[in-house]
Amino acid sequence: MPQNRRPLIAGNWKMNGLKADGQALAKALGEQMRAESDPVFDMLVCPPFTLIANVGETIDGSGIALGAQDCHPADKGAHTADISAAMLRDLGCQFVIVGHSERRTDHGEMDQEVKAKAEAAQASDLTAIICIGETEHQRDDGKTFDVVKTQLTGSLPNSSDSSNTVIAYEPVWAIGTGRTPSNDEVQEVHALIRDGLSQALGDDQAAAVRVLYGGSMKPENARELIALPDVDGGLIGGASLKAEDFWAIAESCT
């Protein structure tokens, strides 16, 4: 976590929470953030679509950023039940997660579609958080580097830069399982991603793009993960649903 990249602590609430839950969580985080005079991290929450407006009102003015978990590649049209990047921007979102492994698995999303979604996000002034990561099977077969590099190259729009793009490395086998790669394994994949960003965007942009780690990050392991040289924060699922845990993870940046 070098000085020139400000850590981003991002919560992916997934399909969790009714209005009262979302509001309580957002209120607790907003209060914590307002009480922080000079936070050394950026904080982001990505509620389900149904809660975005409500959570946005609750955290308004707190300094916590608002995001969504997916968007459609088109800006409007006949796409029943889908949500465009422009609609998210209109609700006050600044970020959107694209290519999460649960979207890739549950909805068959491939790199090309993820790239189109990231392009749509960038075109609507949102920062795309592009998720990549290997399955357990791919890791066991020694294919982690190939898979991560291929997903990065295939999902990253040419228009990407440090202001509109964040990469999240999320080993699929670490998501929601309580298991994490070793610190060395995390760092080596993040360094590979940084190298891939250099080839795609040039050294200056590669040095500035934030690369998050995601997969069973919690208060107990956050400090050492975030301290790794090429880890610039976390994308957090389960632990982002408890204000105390999510805040403790953010405090690990200090």
Q: Which are the catalytic amino acids?
A: 100, 170
SS3 content of the chain, % helix, strand, coil (to 5): 45, 15, 35
What is the contact mask toward ligand PEP in residues 211 to 230, using x (rule: CB under 6 A)? Answer: ---xxxx-------------
Query: Residue 117 corresponds to which tokens in the numbers above?
Result: 């979604």
- 98, β-bridge pairs: 130
Is position 181 an interface residue for ligand PEP (rule: CB under 6 A)? no
Is position 237 an interface residue for ligand PEP (rule: CB under 6 A)? yes
Is position 170 an interface residue for ligand PEP (rule: CB under 6 A)? yes
Q: Are 184 and 224 in contact (CB under 8 A)?
A: no
Smaller CB separation from ligand PEP, 216 or 252: 216
HSE-CB at 99 with a 13 A cutoff on CA atoms is: 32
Q: Which of residues 65-94 bind ligand PEP (CB under 6 A)?
A: none
Instruction: Give burial (CB, 10 Å; 0-12/13-18/19+) of 108.
Output: exposed
Residue-by-residue DSSP string for 157-169: -TT--TTTEEEEE
Q: Which of 114, 129, 130, 175 binds ligand PEP (CB under 6 A)?
A: 175
Size of the site for ligand PEP (CB under 6 A): 13
Which listed range, 49-57, 87-95, 120-128, 168-176, lies at the site for ligand PEP (CB under 6 A)? 168-176
Q: Which of 25, 238, 247, 252 binds ligand PEP (CB under 6 A)?
A: 238
**Backbone φ and ψ of 116, nearest 5°:** -65, -40
Query: Residue 25 corresponds to which tokens in the numbers above?
Result: 């969580």
Smaller CB separation from ligand PEP, 164 or 216: 216
Interacting residue ranges for ligand PEP, rule: CB under 6 A: 12, 170, 175-176, 214-217, 235-239
